[in-house]
Amino acid sequence: MYKDRDANRIEMRRWEEIREEWRNYVPNHNSPWPLPEHEVYELPSLEGYLDNLEKDGIRNAIIEEEIPALRISALHESVILIHKGGNTLRAAAEEGGLGYRTWSISTAYHAAFFAMRGVLGLLGVMLFRNRDNTLDYQVDLWSPRAKRRTCTESRFAVRIIRRTRRVQHKEMWGCFSRMLRIVKINDDIFPILHPHPLKNMEPGMFSQIRHRIHYRSSGWIFDDLDNLSVCDDFSSLVNHVETLTHLSTPESNDFPPSLALYIVSMGMALMADLGQNIPKLREESKRAIKWMGGSPWKNATAFSNLLGVVSP
State pLDDT tens for residues 208-248.
999 999 999 999 999 999 999 999 999 999 988 988 889 99
Residue 71 pLDDT level (bands cut at 50, 70, 90) = very high
Confidence of residue 132 (pLDDT cuts 50, 70, 90): confident
Mean pLDDT of the chain: 92
Q: Distance (Å, rounded) from C-alpha 251 to C-alpha 244?
A: 14
> Maximum CA pair distance of the chain?
66
Q: Which helix (H) or strand (E) holds 126?
A: strand 125-129
302 pLDDT exceeds 60?
yes
Which segment of 51-55, 111-115, 227-231, 247-251 scores lowest on mean pLDDT?
A: 51-55
Report which of 176, 250, 248 is spatially closest to residue 210, judged by C-alpha positions: 250
Note the pLDDT of residue 191.
85
Task: DSSP letter for 10, please.
Answer: P
Q: What would the 3-class secondary structure string for 153-218 be?
A: CCCEEEEEEECCCCCCHHHHHHHHHHHHHHEECCCCCCCCCCCCCCCCCCHHHCCHHHHHHHHCCC
At position 191, the amino acid (one-letter code) is P
pLDDT over 70 for what percent of the chain?
A: 96
pTM of the full structure: 0.95
* 119 compared with 51, residue with greater pLDDT: 119
**How far apart are the C-alpha atoms of 72 and 280, rounded to whole Å?**
13
Residue 312 has pLDDT above 60, yes or no: no
- What local confidence, expressed as pLDDT, does residue 129 receive? 87
Q: What is the Cα–Cα distance from 90 to 294, expressed in whole angstroms?
A: 8
- Range scoring the smallest mean pLDDT among 18-22, 191-195, 259-263: 191-195
**Is 307's pLDDT higher than 70?**
no
pLDDT at position 286, please? 94
Phi and psi angles of residue 157, each rounded to the nearest 5 degrees, phi first: -100, 175
**Long-range contact pairs involving 179-187 (C-beta distance under 8 Å, separation at least 24):** 179/10, 179/119, 179/120, 179/123, 179/125, 182/10, 182/11, 182/12, 182/13, 183/12, 183/13, 183/14, 183/15, 183/123, 184/12, 184/13, 184/14, 184/15, 184/16, 185/15, 185/270, 186/15, 186/16, 187/306
Q: Which of 163-167, 171-175, 258-262, 284-288 shows the lowest mean pLDDT across its residues? A: 163-167
Structure confidence at residue 308 (pLDDT): 57
Q: What's the Cα-to-Cα distance from 78 to each of 39, 59, 151, 174, 215, rounded to whole Å?
A: 11, 25, 27, 18, 29
Query: Pick from 92, 91, 47: which is nearest to 70 by CA?
Result: 47
CA distance 199 to 282: 29
What are the extents of the domains in the chain?
7-292
Segment 25-54 shows an average pLDDT of: 92
Residue 309 — pLDDT band, cuts 50, 70, 90? low
pLDDT tens column, 165-190: 899 999 999 999 999 999 999 988 99
Tens of pLDDT along 78-101?
999 999 999 999 999 999 999 999
Q: What is the pLDDT of residue 213?
A: 97
**pLDDT for residue 283 is more than 90:** yes
Q: How confident is the model at residue 51 (pLDDT cuts 50, 70, 90)?
A: confident
Q: What share of the chain in percent tops pLDDT 90?
A: 78
Instruction: Give the 3-state secondary structure of residue 224.
Output: coil
